[in-house]
Copies of this chain bind each other. A is one copy, B any other.
Amino acid sequence: MQKPLILVCNDDGITAPGISYVVQLLKNFGDVAVVAPDKPQSGMGHAITINSTLRVNKTNYHDVFLEYNCSGTPVDCVKMAVNKLLPRKPDLCVSGINHGSNSSINVVYSGTMSAALEGALEQIPSIGFSLCDYAHEADFAQAEVFIKKIIADVLKNSMPLGVCLNVNIPKLKADEIKGIKVCRQARANWVEEFDERKDPGGKPYYWLTGKFVNFEEGNKETDEWALKNGYISIVPTKADLTSYESLIELKSRYNEIGSS
């Protein structure tokens, strides 16, 4: 039987420790192809490159079957891999492991999760992994037993159409991780604070900073609760932004509006 073909992407860039860690792990599951950004692309969300051009370069950081860096965003990487670089459609797409949380509202800003979502749009079973630790020397191996089981399950049982997994791992020692909770995205937001500075010429510039605010503190259905209470959170995630619960109200408000 043919070995599974596994596409790996991320948003921290092709040389980040998180992608190295997961690539080595994935070699136990199949042939690994890496197509990842040539520089950090955190916060790029679902951006694609349409006003400029893309470059790809063959690289060999991870000793895998096929590897390219790409000048574009994480979503560009997945599109390039699937439509141009890979010999066939991959059996699995893994994005990450991200350095830092992609739980709750972070999912919309995250290049890592957008790459996984793009995989799902291409009808590839896809997983985005994130560790809630921004440190360069973060220890990805603490959750290894769970990461392996999730990968094995998705390879075996696939995913519902268009759905990928948003897996977030708390920053804990292996024996402190209580297990896995499948949950929904918490309602939360960033309250921005712009750090204003002056350049050498005296002109102002800004760094985007912010404070995370969870509007559902204590709600056990949410990913934030799972992470805070020692669980790995898994949110089934898809690119349908329709607010179904608002359809009836809005139909009554707008469907009868005419031009006169």
Q: Which residues of A contact B (CB under 8 A)?
A: 40, 42-51, 53-56, 73, 75-76, 79-80, 82-84, 105, 107-109, 114, 117, 121-122, 145-146, 149-150, 153, 157, 160, 162-163, 165-166, 174-175, 177, 179-185, 187, 189, 191-194, 196-197, 203-208, 234-247, 249-251, 253-255, 257-259
Contacts and interface: CB of A to CB of B under 8 A. Distances in A.
A56 B206 contact: yes
* Interface of chain A: mostly helix, strand, loop or mixed: mixed
B257 A206 contact: no
A175 B259 CA distance: 8
Contacts of A235: 241-242
A185 B237 contact: no
Nearest to A252: B182
B146 A208 contact: no
Contacts of A109: 46-48, 75
Contact of A236 (B73, B82, B185, B247): B247
15 contacts: A45-B45, A45-B46, A45-B75, A46-B109, A54-B194, A82-B192, A84-B196, A108-B114, A146-B257, A153-B257, A160-B243, A160-B246, A184-B244, A184-B247, A240-B243
Given A107-B241, A108-B241, A253 B177 contact: no
Contacts of A249: 160
A185 B240 contact: yes
Contacts of A183: 247
Contacts of A184: 240, 242, 244, 247
A42 B46 CA distance: 11
